[in-house]
Structure 1
Amino acid sequence: MPDIDKDELIRRFGLQPHPEGGYFRETYRSTARVTRDGAEETRSASTAIYFLLCDGAHSAWHRIQSDEVWHFYAGEPIDVHVIDAHGALFTLRLGNALTHPDAEFQAVVTAGDWFAAECAAPAGVGLVGCTVAPGFEFSEFEMADADALAAAHPQHRALIERLA
């Protein structure tokens, strides 16, 4: 695979810095509206973004209140580290499943789980997409307090602190 020029990707896809790290651009926001159980407000049924990690940047620990499907597009594999509702830590590796047998083209982070992401190769460039349903709203985006998350899950402290 040819080297991927991160500046070309940023320019070509109109990516902007993301608050959690990396670069992104929202590519889709459904006009269909849905409500969550018990909620009065409506939201988009689904949203999608491009998301780029490069230059050693990582996506810091955060969670959202919807399921998020990650899709691999190009570059190096991306490791998505997840701490689920029971405190179990597991890693989803997104990548070209045809050339990286330990990678998947798609992976799901369940609503409410804490997660962070990084390129499997520290100096790598990885382009992925994320689809959220019901749609992503910044009002439901929660950045982790690294100290509180590590206190709740001391067995994962080193990874939590590294990706805080």
Structure 2
Amino acid sequence: MTINPEVERLIRRFDLQAHPEGGHYTETYRSAVQVARQDERVVHSASTAIYYLLSAGVYSTWHRIASDEMWHFYKGCVVLIHVIDKAGMLHTHRLGDALQTEDASFQVMVPAGCWFAAELADPHGYALAGCTVAPGFEFSEFELADTAKLSHRHPEHAALIERLGART
């Protein structure tokens, strides 16, 4: 598959690396301020931020983290961010240029501990986004979903869970 020249340019421009969930990223900020969650001895940076790129044929597979994650839209097409909340309800948010696309938002919040995945609304497009995490992101708290277990737990969402499941 041929990579879009703009995607190649963005990867080079921002020194993006492959992310385990899919897509490309680079960390752009890690706060020097340290915080601990209530009843937790582990300290974290107060906040972290990344650039995150999805391109044609690529998606962010189901995963969850221990902190709230705010997505920010920068460039490209709409990103569908699918979130399964703690009650098992599926919410699909449209991250994109809210001035050009009526049902899109410049920012989308994914609550801590919720399973989520993301894909391009236009499977041939690309999107550059940012993600800000507070307390800060730590790979030790990053969990990729076991697709079979997540589908079994939420059979009403099984088709979507399996479609955006981890590639083996």
SS in 2 for 1:11: helix
What is the alpha-carbon distance in structure 2 between the residues aligned to residue 4 and residue 11 of structure 1? Answer: 11
2:43 aligned partner: 42
What is the alpha-carbon distance in structure 2 between the residues aligned to residue 45 and residue 134 of structure 1? Answer: 5
Structure 1: where are the runs of 5+ without partners?
none
What is the alpha-carbon distance in structure 2 between the residues aligned to residue 40 and residue 106 of structure 1? Answer: 31
Q: Note the C-alpha offset of 1:131.
A: 0.1
1:66 aligned partner: 67
SS in 2 for 1:5: helix
Q: Give the alignment of 1:49-88 within 5 angstroms.
A: 49-88=50-89
Pair 1:98-2:99 in alignment:
yes
Instruction: Tell me if the contact between 1:29 and 1:46 (Cα under 8 Å) persists in the aligned partners.
Output: yes
What is the alpha-carbon distance in structure 2 between the residues aligned to residue 86 and residue 116 of structure 1? Answer: 17
Instruction: Tell me if the contact between 1:56 and 1:123 (Cα under 8 Å) persists in the aligned partners.
Output: yes
Q: Note the C-alpha offset of 1:37.
A: 1.0
Q: Give the alignment of 1:143-154 within 5 angstroms.
A: 143-154=144-155
SS in 2 for 1:73: strand
Instruction: Tell me if the contact between 1:4 and 1:75 (Cα under 8 Å) persists in the aligned partners.
Output: no
Q: Note the C-alpha offset of 1:4.
A: 7.1
- TM-score, normalised to structure 2, is 0.95
Q: Deviations over 1:76-106 (max 9, x none)?
A: 0101000000000010110000110010000
What is the alpha-carbon distance in structure 2 between the residues aligned to residue 128 and residue 117 of structure 1? Answer: 11
Q: Note the C-alpha offset of 1:55.
A: 2.3
- TM-score, normalised to structure 1, is 0.97
Identity value in percent: 59
1:48 corresponds to which letter in structure 2? A
2:48 corresponds to which letter in structure 1? T
Instruction: Tell me if the contact between 1:71 and 1:106 (Cα under 8 Å) persists in the aligned partners.
Output: yes
What is the alpha-carbon distance in structure 2 between the residues aligned to residue 42 and residue 89 of structure 1? Answer: 31
Instruction: Tell me if the contact between 1:21 and 1:57 (Cα under 8 Å) persists in the aligned partners.
Output: yes
